[in-house]
Chains A and B, each alone.
Chain A
Amino acid sequence: MSNKATVTAKPGESTIQIERVFDAPREKFYRVVTNKELIPKWWTGPGYDVRCEEMDVREGGKWRHVQTMPDGTEFAFFGVYHEIAPNERIIQSFEFSGLPERGHVILEKMELEDVEGGKTKLKVTQAFFSAADRDGMLQSGMEKGLQSTYDTLDKVLAEEE
């Protein structure tokens, strides 16, 4: 049986909340998610590989994960650890290398709570500079080829202007 994550993103706001309960105590959960060697095993997605180039889990330390897409294209996700409270909370910056310009940084807060039966609730809050930045990030999970609202709007705009 696997739990399901809930993802909340209210219209017009610039944050995303992700919550999920894991069948492991907080200490173990924290140890696993801060282990550089284990990142390729889980910080991934369908159809691509991930390697961890840097993961210095201390305040001011850097992290950098690189995704390799099936066509060989690489994208990096990287940031700096702002606050490390072992077994309780991590606050870090988060940026995506695939954008044509810098400046679209996310602040990510990861909180851990005890749940009855030796389980752990993970709460992640991602804070973006704007709703536009956030909605862009949400769209990054879109399946290729899915006809999006924005594509439709593109066409209309091309005709109008």
Chain B
Amino acid sequence: MVERNAYLDGLFGSLADPIRRDILRRLMNAQFTVSQIAESYDISLAAVAKHLNVLEKATLVIKQRRGKEQVVSISPEALKDASQYLAQYEALWNYRFDALDTVLREEKS
């Protein structure tokens, strides 16, 4: 069995769909109604709604009814995961830099 590689998954995996990735990117910065999101793409409202359903099922976005409209926002879980990626990458660099500190101490000035 081939070992799954998180890096490859990220690059070529599930968020490969450009529209879903783009919707998620927009929601990182603001909330939008379903129709506002639909206006940005050359696909039907129904197709956009389908993408949003997928993202909602994956717990990446949350939909809330506000009056006649549904407002879509990024889910805390998605943001938590994003910050986890960053924390792991930060941990790798701290590991390297701590090793570099040791090397610097050992080397003559």
Chain B residue at minimum C-beta to C-beta distance from A4? B94
Q: For residues 65 through 95 of chain B, which have their beta carbon under 8 Å from a beta carbon of chain A? A: 77-78, 81-82, 84-86, 88-95
Interchain CB contact under 8 A, B9 and A132? no
Please, how many angstroms separate the alpha-carbon atoms of A6 and B78 in the complex?
21
Which of chain A's residues have a CB closer than 8 A to the CB of B85?
135, 138-139, 141-142
Contact indicator B96/A43 (Cβ below 8 Å): yes
| A139–B81 alpha-carbon span in the complex (Å) | 10
Contact: A153 with B14, CB < 8 Å?
A: yes
Contact flag A156-B100 (CB < 8 Å), given A98-B5, A141-B91, A142-B88: no
**What number of A-B contacts does a CB cutoff of 8 Å give?**
160
Residue of A nearest to B90 (CB): A7
Among candidates A16, A45, A149, residue contacting B96 with C-beta atoms closer than 8 Å? A45
The docked-state distance in angstroms from the alpha carbon of A18 to that of B12 is 25
In the assembled complex, the Cα of A16 lies from the Cα of B18 at a distance in Å of: 21
B91 nearest CB neighbor, chain A only = A141
User: Closest chain B residue to A43 by CB distance?
Assistant: B96
Q: Mark B88-109, 1 if CB is under 8 A from A, else 0.
A: 1111111111111111100101
Docked complex: A131-156 residues within 8 A CB-CB of B: 131-133, 135-144, 146, 148-156
Distance in angstroms from B26 CB to nearest chain A CB is 8
Residue in B7, B29, B98 whose Cβ sees the most chain A Cβ within 10 Å: B7
Let me know if A100 is at the binding interface, CB within 8 A. Answer: yes
Residue from the list A18, A136, A156 in contact with B10, Cβ < 8 A: A136
Interface residues on B, range: 35 or more
Q: Are B58 and A152 in contact (CB under 8 A)?
A: yes
Could you tell me if B99 and A18 are in contact, using CB atoms closer than 8 angstroms? no
Q: A41 touching B91 by the CB < 8 A rule?
A: no
Look across to chain A and name the residue whose beta carbon is closest to the beta carbon of B53.
A160
Show the binding face of B for A, using Cβ within 8 Å.
Answer: 3, 5-15, 21, 25-26, 28-29, 54-55, 57-60, 77-78, 81-82, 84-86, 88-104, 107, 109
A selection of 13 A-B contacts at a CB cut-off of 8 Å is: A2-B101, A3-B97, A28-B107, A42-B102, A44-B95, A104-B11, A132-B10, A132-B15, A135-B10, A136-B10, A142-B85, A150-B15, A156-B54
The 3 closest A-B pairs by CB, nearest first: A136-B10, A11-B28, A136-B11
Q: A32-B103, A42-B97 are in contact. List 9 more A-B contacts (CB 8 A).
A: A23-B104, A132-B21, A137-B7, A139-B7, A140-B6, A141-B88, A141-B89, A148-B6, A149-B59
